[in-house]
Amino acid sequence: MAQRLQTNATLEAFEEADLFAKVSGYLSEVRVDIGDHVKAGQVLAVIDVPEMKQELAEAKAELEAKRSVLESARRQLDHNKAELALQDALAKDREELGQGRNFISDRTLDQVHANAAIAKADLGVAEANSDLAAHQVDVAAATVERIKTLLAYTQVVAPFDGVVARRQVNRGDLVQAAAATRTTPSAGSLFTLQRIDTIRVFCDVPENDVSHLHVGDPAVVKPSGFDGKPFIGKVTRFSLRLDPETRDMRTEIDLPNPDERLYPGTYAEVSLEMNRRPDALTVPTAAVGSDDGGNFVYAIATDRVTRLAVRTGLIDNGRIEITAGLSEETPVLATTKGIPPLGTVVRSAMVRENT
């Protein structure tokens, strides 16, 4: 027994990307067309931006100039460090000579200390100049890398292995850098790339059936217009939420598509087999009746017709599951209509069905 659901579905690519230009310019090369298979990193088109190459050359020259300034600042810094060390040593020597003796005048000692203070101040200036030059080098290097990155964007490359599903440009076209405010994904795109080695099958499960749905439930997919055998898959994932407008839950089935026989956009019918119970006790649906007292069957007990209250479960292919109230050894009348009165002595004839 299983809870079965027939529903409509749509086939989509496992991955799909609209490729845009990151820089503005003229297309000098368009290397692919629709239906072409491409590899991740493959160049699909080249945008010519000659002024950006000139900007890169100027930025590199500016970087070299800043590096020369930094090298001079570092040499000056080393010089000032040495000068400060010399002045400190001279001041120490003069102080030692002047202690307890009158070899050095106070005026001379003051001059020595002043020279040391000047050397220290010059060192501070040299350190600041060196830090500034290093910062300017970092800014110039960042500018070079930024332009290099933009130049790399002049090559439109494939983000993954796939098939070119749409080409909207030709060689010589002027393309504009993509704007964040585009209204639709395909508006202004150069190419649309799809990965179709695996196909996603999208279907919607109604609210009344979602409680029976589990990942791994068997699914049979019949694409529209496909004359071959249906494709067998399993429920791969579902959204864990219901659409508030339709009260359906989006469900996906992944189908391997190594031969590319399935195409994105195809309409399909899906049969889901949920809540499968391989050892369920079942009887024909006509054997179960219902009234104010609940569900019941007519059975044979001690060669007499008797009524048994039962609890039912799933209904599948003309049979109904009995979850309580009946033993699999108890003979059950195949219908609730036209039966003898309760307590009638009968001799049962077993009917076996070929299923």
pLDDT digits (tens, 9 = 90+) for 62-90: 989 998 998 988 888 888 888 888 877 77
Check pLDDT > 70 for residue 354. Answer: no
Contact 222, 230 (CB under 8 A): yes
Distance separating alpha carbons of residues 324 and 313, to the nearest angstrom: 9
Local confidence band at 106 (pLDDT 50, 70, 90 cut-offs): low
Q: What is the CATH number of the domain that holds 300?
A: 2.40.420.20
Q: What is the CATH number of the domain that holds 166?
A: 2.40.50.100
State the pLDDT at residue 289: 87
Q: Closest Cα partner for 203 from 264, 253, 242, 247?
A: 253
Rounded to the nearest angstrom, the gap between the alpha carbon of residue 108 and the centroid of all alpha carbons in its chain is 77
Check pLDDT > 90 for residue 178. Answer: no
**Which is higher by pLDDT, 329 or 98?**
329
Check pLDDT > 70 for residue 320. Answer: yes
Q: How many CB atoms lie within 10 A of CB 171?
A: 12
238 and 313 housed in the same domain:
no
Q: Does 180 map to a domain?
A: no
Q: Residue 100 class from Cβ within 10 Å (0-12 exposed, 13-18 middle, 19+ buried)?
A: exposed
Check pLDDT > 80 for residue 2. Answer: no
CA distances from 192 to 34, 148, 264, 303 (A): 9, 26, 13, 74
39 and 167 housed in the same domain:
yes
Q: Does 269 map to a domain?
A: yes
263 and 289 housed in the same domain:
no
148 and 66 housed in the same domain:
yes
Rounded to the nearest angstrom, the gap between the alpha carbon of residue 82 and the centroid of all alpha carbons in its chain is 59
Q: What is the mean pLDDT of residues 199-217?
A: 93
40 and 84 housed in the same domain:
no
Q: How many secondary structure helices (H) and strands (E) does the chain include?
A: 2, 18
Check pLDDT > 70 for residue 97. Answer: no
Q: Which DSSP helix (H) or strand (E) runs through 299?
A: strand 294-301
Check pLDDT > 60 for residue 6. Answer: yes
Distance separating alpha carbons of residues 217 and 204, to the nearest angstrom: 14
Distance separating alpha carbons of residues 272 and 6, to the nearest angstrom: 7
Per mean pLDDT, which range of 26-30, 44-48, 78-82, 176-180 is the poorest?
A: 176-180
State the pLDDT at residue 274: 83
Check pLDDT > 80 for residue 107. Answer: no
252 and 268 housed in the same domain:
yes
Domain-ending residue, one of 274, 307, 336: 274
pLDDT digits (tens, 9 = 90+) for 149-176: 888 889 999 999 999 999 999 999 999 8
State the pLDDT at residue 167: 95
Distance separating alpha carbons of residues 192 and 166, to the nearest angstrom: 5
Check pLDDT > 90 for residue 115. Answer: no
Range of the domain at 143: 51-152
Domain-ending residue, one of 274, 293, 323: 274
Check pLDDT > 70 for residue 180. Answer: no
State the pLDDT at residue 183: 42
144 and 66 housed in the same domain:
yes
pLDDT digits (tens, 9 = 90+) for 250-264: 999 999 999 999 999
State the pLDDT at residue 168: 93
State the pLDDT at residue 74: 87
Local confidence band at 249 (pLDDT 50, 70, 90 cut-offs): very high
Contact 336, 327 (CB under 8 A): no
Residue type, position 213, single letter = L
Q: Does 293 map to a domain?
A: yes
Nearest-5° Cα angle at 46, 43 to 48: 160
* Residue 247, Ramachandran bin (φ over 0: left; ψ between -120 and 50: alpha; else beta): left
Per mean pLDDT, which range of 175-184, 234-243, 271-280, 343-352 is the poorest?
A: 175-184
Local confidence band at 330 (pLDDT 50, 70, 90 cut-offs): confident
Number of domains the chain contains: 4
58 and 147 housed in the same domain:
yes
State the pLDDT at residue 102: 55
90 and 208 housed in the same domain:
no
State the pLDDT at residue 105: 59
Local confidence band at 328 (pLDDT 50, 70, 90 cut-offs): confident
